[in-house]
Amino acid sequence: MLHDAGVRTVVAPGWQNRSVSGTPPRPIGVLNHHTATPSSARNPAPSVQLTIDGRSDLAGPLCHIVIGTDGTAHVIAAGRANHAGRARASGPNPGGDGNTLYLGVEWDYDGTHPPSRAQYAAAVQVNAALLRHLQRPAEAARGHRETSVTGKVDPGHVDLDQFRRDIASAMAAPAGDDMQLSDEFTDWAGTKKTVQSLFDDLDRRLASFEHIFLKPGSEPSRIPGDTNRTNLRDAIMDTTARVVELQREAGRPAPWPEPLPSDNLAPPPHPESPETPQSKESGGEKPDGASEPRPSRKPSRTVAAGGAAGAVGTVAVWIASLYGVQMPEPVAASIVLVLSTVMTYLVPTPAPKQEARR
Ligand SMILES: [Zn+2]
């Protein structure tokens, strides 16, 4: 029943016959509590065993269902449970023996702050499913503080009127028609997944993408000797800049012209002037005064290839890391640098037209 409501459900062995002695419950409502125990993502339902065993002053079971902070419902008992004490009339429900009148749902959190979203959502679905089964309205869901005659305050930081409105919406929705987070399917690789695990997976990958591309410090710097860390976007820029530098050191022509000083922008330099930036940069390679076509503003094939190789190497190293292949940073950085440098020298710079004619 809870499973059909899309709630991840775990049953504690022996739950069908677990009961304290006394009148079997004849529930007309659901009573919601907090356990007052700190829970966390790592330990989402620390009170399950305690609610089964009971305390020295109160025999277990102490409720019927425990909802973890992760939204998992642990079914503890089907019989009578010590959770409500005496109950005063509340909403549509009469007063009397609370443990006869109510099914008990413990939300496992400390009550000093609101429950987690997953816990709240699961509680809405659990209450809706139980009340539908009992053929009772959403108003029959109560908080312990609404029935207690001893001043209980649980569940803490929950707006119970809003909670009942949410239960009413859940009960109005056709049961089982919607896709649920717990629905299972088989993905393209034949892996069994749930809708929830698919979302979790997507979330992780997007976060990983964002981290490595944009967060500073996610990647080692590609500048030789630089011990700072950077991100992948800047690392690719650095690699490209390094390739340009290597070209200069090798005495090759600059891959693209230096920007002209703004005074010289109009009129443009005479195409036959020896003062064009290209001839300045590559000094000595061409006879002075030789006519020279205006250099293209596009980066040369060499630099594009080097940059692309660097980027491909970086992405490959990152993808490898996603699949658990961890390599020391210097190794990864060297692979990327060597790859881009090799490509820089392998892909020939197109020969200037002047030289091609001679
Ligand atoms: Zn309580």
| Residue 61 alpha carbon to ligand 1 centre in Å | 13
| Residue 6 alpha carbon to ligand 1 centre in Å | 25
Residue 132: which of 171, 74, 183 has the closest Cα?
Answer: 171
For residues 229 and 203, state if they share a domain. Answer: no
| Residue 31 alpha carbon to ligand 1 centre in Å | 8
| Residue 256 alpha carbon to ligand 1 centre in Å | 75
In a domain, 4, yes or no: no
For residues 284 and 202, state if they share a domain. Answer: no
For residues 162 and 294, state if they share a domain. Answer: no
For residues 75 and 191, state if they share a domain. Answer: no
| Residue 105 alpha carbon to ligand 1 centre in Å | 9
In a domain, 356, yes or no: no
What average pLDDT is seen over the chain?
A: 82
pLDDT at 71: 95
Both tokens assigned to 81: 């449970």
From the DSSP assignment, how many helices (H) and strands (E) are in the chain?
Answer: 11, 14
| Residue 82 alpha carbon to ligand 1 centre in Å | 10
| Residue 44 alpha carbon to ligand 1 centre in Å | 19
Q: Please give the average per-residue pLDDT across 186-207, as a whole number.
A: 90
For residues 193 and 248, state if they share a domain. Answer: no
For residues 17 and 166, state if they share a domain. Answer: yes
CATH code of the domain in which 27 resides: 3.40.80.10
Out of 227-231, 335-339, 340-344, give the one with best mean pLDDT.
227-231
How do 29-34 and 141-143 pair as beta strands? parallel
For residues 34 and 48, state if they share a domain. Answer: yes
pLDDT at 257: 57
pLDDT at 38 over 80: yes
Structure confidence by residue, pLDDT tens digits, 121-158: 999 999 999 999 999 999 999 999 999 999 999 999 99
| Residue 21 alpha carbon to ligand 1 centre in Å | 20
In a domain, 72, yes or no: yes
For residues 243 and 195, state if they share a domain. Answer: no
In a domain, 259, yes or no: no
For residues 203 and 347, state if they share a domain. Answer: no
> What percentage of the chain exceeds 90 in pLDDT?
48
pLDDT at 291 over 50: no
In this predicted complex, what is the ipTM? 0.98
For residues 150 and 206, state if they share a domain. Answer: no
Total domain count, the chain: 3
| Residue 297 alpha carbon to ligand 1 centre in Å | 75
Domain containing residue 54: 9-172
For the beta sheet containing 9-11, the strands, ordered from the edge strand earlier in sequence to the opposite edge, are: 9-11, 73-75, 65-67, 102-107, 29-34, 141-143
How do 96-97 and 86-87 pair as beta strands? antiparallel
For residues 140 and 203, state if they share a domain. Answer: no
Q: Please give the average per-residue pLDDT across 99-111, as a whole number.
A: 97
For residues 203 and 237, state if they share a domain. Answer: no
| Residue 131 alpha carbon to ligand 1 centre in Å | 19
Choose the final residue of a domain: 172, 206, 233. Answer: 172
In a domain, 78, yes or no: yes
In a domain, 3, yes or no: no
In a domain, 257, yes or no: no
| Residue 188 alpha carbon to ligand 1 centre in Å | 47
| Residue 273 alpha carbon to ligand 1 centre in Å | 91
Say if residues 30 and 103 touch (Cβ distance below 8 Å). yes
pLDDT at 274 over 60: no
What is the distance between the alpha carbons of residues 153 and 157, in angstroms, rounded to a whole number? 9
| DSSP character at residue 220 | E
Per the DSSP assignment, residues forming a β-bridge with 307 are none
| Residue 336 alpha carbon to ligand 1 centre in Å | 61
